[in-house]
């Protein structure tokens, strides 16, 4: 059981935060600062960690860009590895992904600097030390970095260490990762997978401005049946697209990337595919979820450009209302730009009772931002991405904020992924009831769904579904 400690307010990442700050003074080597560590200790519930090794290397992600593989070793002999994900349509408030900017390697996208930070400063600071639990270790990483956006050591370096340490800690406790990630008040459940079957926006070279068209088997009786539905609809969609003369090439998240330009055209063919595969379109069977990723097509003058049309915020809201009226869309993520605050409030007022409205680029998995959004009545759910905030503990805090507020939460992959399946266990542990991990195709996407099926197979007692 991970004790999240006191609900310490997490600093809001300043939008305009300087990317590089002077290095903070390092505390002398030795025991960690104990106040936080002590507050995290809870008899019998926190696994003490003695770190013996921390190592990283540069590997490739699913888009052929460098990322980190990090391993953490514990004194009891447990060692675990983590692969770090990487986004393309990122929110401006995300913790900083450190890249080398050395144009002679990988077009500047190398991560040797971040690898060097893990193998050097982070390893030196952690090895040989005891931590009361994962939250104490994550706090030590945050303190060592010393910046609000983890830009000194790199959020990619820090999140890799945090994920590997969480996995090693579960190994030490002799439990599967999802049980190791358990927190007070959360009840484990298998989430509804949201399969991204049609890609556009920053994830595909087609003219489609909306980024993600997902299918969500809300009506499935269990995770195995949900995965089967996702795969069967995906196959039916391939047939429909091929028959209509479209290319069936894939986008970054494994969904098809046909030459469709209007979002409604894409929705129409997806509904046909759901029916072709023998499922009922809608919340009783297979529903649709959208992630337009609207920040990507918001213009400097505040308008939105969809298939060449210039739309105001209220035009966009009208468009979404028509979409929800016509199609079985149950969830819309990033329907408006990350800085369109008044628009988000209007959108929530207009559609918040009818559909799930998910904040991603505007919330960046930051517990303080989500807390404020809950208070301000912005959206009704948050997307949860480990590398947006940069440690497992802060990610668990974000999930806890959502749970306590009765707000939805959807655990998410990134468009650049590895074979790491951490998010499957995270979704199960939190009981949030929703996950998105791309298409039911391509190894790095399928790995997460297969892990969910494995958990479901081993624990048939775990419930499946949204949970409310």
Where along the sequence are the contacts to ligand PGA (CB under 6 A)? Answer: 87-90, 291, 293, 360, 383, 412, 414-415
* Min dist. Cβ of residue 436 to Zn ion (A): 8
Which of 94, 212, 232, 253 is catalytic? The answer is 253
Comparison of 139 and 362: residue with beta carbon closer to ligand PGA? 362
Among 253, 291, 340, 394, binds Zn ion (CB under 5 A): 291
Which of 94, 385, 417, 448 is catalytic? The answer is 385
Helices (H) and strands (E) in the chain — how many of each?
15, 14
Q: What are phi and psi of 308, to 5 degrees?
A: 85, -15
414 binds, among ligand PGA, Zn ion, none (CB under 5 to 8 A by kind): ligand PGA
Spatial separation of the C-alpha atoms in residues 53 and 72, rounded to whole Å: 6
Comparison of 95 and 462: residue with beta carbon closer to ligand PGA? 95
403 binds, among Zn ion, ligand PGA, none (CB under 5 to 8 A by kind): none
Comparison of 383 and 392: residue with beta carbon closer to ligand PGA? 383
Residues between 326 and 355 with contacts to Zn ion, criterion CB under 5 A: 333-334
Q: Does residue 264 carry a catalytic annotation?
A: no
* Min dist. Cβ of residue 68 to ligand PGA (A): 16
32 binds, among Zn ion, ligand PGA, none (CB under 5 to 8 A by kind): none
88 binds, among Zn ion, ligand PGA, none (CB under 5 to 8 A by kind): ligand PGA
Spatial separation of the C-alpha atoms in residues 352 and 354, rounded to whole Å: 6
Three-state secondary structure call for residue 43: coil
User: CB pairs under 8 A, 24+ apart, for 304-309?
Assistant: 304/336, 304/337, 305/209, 306/209, 306/210, 306/263, 307/207, 307/209, 307/261, 307/262, 307/263
* Min dist. Cβ of residue 290 to ligand PGA (A): 11
Helix ranges (H only) for 151-296 are 155-173, 177-180, 223-243, 263-276
Nearest alpha-carbon partner for 372 in 336, 331, 401, 335: 401
- What are the b/e assignments for 79-111, b being 16+ CB within 10 Å? ebbbbbbbbbbbbebbbbbbbbeeeeebeebbb
399 binds, among Zn ion, ligand PGA, none (CB under 5 to 8 A by kind): none
Comparison of 37 and 383: residue with beta carbon closer to ligand PGA? 383
Comparison of 161 and 316: residue with beta carbon closer to Zn ion? 316
Residues 6+ apart with CB under 8 A from 392: 134, 138, 159, 162, 163, 165, 166, 181, 386, 426
Cite the annotated binding site for (2R)-2-phosphoglycerate by residue number: 211, 385, 414-415, 436
Q: Does residue 253 carry a catalytic annotation?
A: yes
What is the separation, in whole angstroms, between the first and last Cα of the chain? 24
Residues of this chain that interact with Zn ion (CB under 5 A) are 291, 333-334, 360
**Active site residue ranges:** 253, 385
């Amino acid at each position: 059981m991970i004790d999240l400690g006191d609900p310490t307010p997490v600093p809001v990442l300043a939008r305009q935060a300087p990317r590089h700050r002077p290095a903070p003074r390092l505390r002398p080597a030795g025991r960690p600062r104990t106040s936080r560590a002590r507050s995290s200790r809870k008899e019998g519930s926190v696994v003490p960690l003695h770190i013996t090794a921390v190592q990283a290397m540069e590997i490739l992600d699913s888009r052929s860009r460098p990322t980190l593989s990090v391993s953490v070793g514990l004194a009891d002999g447990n060692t675990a590895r983590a692969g770090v994900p990487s986004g393309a349509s990122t929110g401006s408030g995300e913790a900083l992904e450190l890249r080398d900017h050395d144009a002679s390697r990988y077009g500047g996208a190398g991560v040797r600097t971040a690898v060097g930070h893990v193998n050097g400063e982070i390893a030196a600071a952690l090895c040989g030390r005891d931590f009361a639990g994962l939250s104490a270790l994550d706090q030590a990483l945050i303190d060592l970095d010393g910046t609000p956006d983890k830009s000194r050591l790199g959020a990619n370096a820090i999140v890799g260490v945090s994920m590997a340490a969480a996995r090693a800690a579960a190994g030490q406790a002799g439990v599967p990762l999802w049980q190791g990630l358990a927190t007070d008040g959360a009840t484990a459940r298998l989430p509804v997978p949201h399969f991204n079957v049609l890609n556009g926006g920053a994830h595909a070279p087609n003219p489609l401005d909306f980024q993600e068209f997902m299918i969500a088997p809300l009506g499935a009786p269990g995770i195995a049946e949900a995965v089967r539905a996702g795969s069967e609809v995906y196959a039916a969609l391939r047939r429909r697209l091929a028959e209509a003369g479209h290319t069936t090439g894939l986008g970054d998240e494994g969904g098809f990337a046909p030459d469709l330009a209007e979002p409604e055209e894409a929705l129409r063919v997806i509904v046909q595919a759901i029916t072709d595969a023998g499922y009922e379109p809608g919340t009783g069977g297979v529903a649709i979820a959208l992630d337009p990723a609207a920040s990507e097509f918001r213009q400097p003058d505040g308008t939105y450009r969809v298939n060449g049309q210039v739309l105001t915020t209220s035009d966009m809201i009208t468009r979404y209302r028509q979409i929800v009226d016509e199609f079985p869309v149950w969830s819309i993520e990033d329907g408006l730009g990350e800085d369109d605050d008044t628009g988000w409030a209007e959108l929530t007022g207009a559609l918040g009772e009818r559909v799930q409205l998910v904040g991603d680029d505007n919330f960046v998995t930051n517990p303080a931002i989500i807390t404020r959004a809950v208070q301000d009545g912005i959206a009704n759910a948050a997307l949860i991405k480990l590398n947006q905030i940069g440690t497992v503990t802060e990610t668990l805090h974000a999930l806890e904020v959502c749970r306590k507020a009765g707000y939805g939460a959807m655990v998410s992959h990134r468009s650049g992924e590895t074979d790491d399946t951490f998010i499957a266990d995270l979704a199960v542990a939190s009981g949030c009831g929703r996950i998105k991990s791309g298409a039911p195709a391509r190894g790095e996407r399928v790995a997460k769904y297969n892990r969910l099926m494995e958990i479901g197979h081993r624990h048939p007692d775990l419930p499946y579904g949204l949970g409310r």
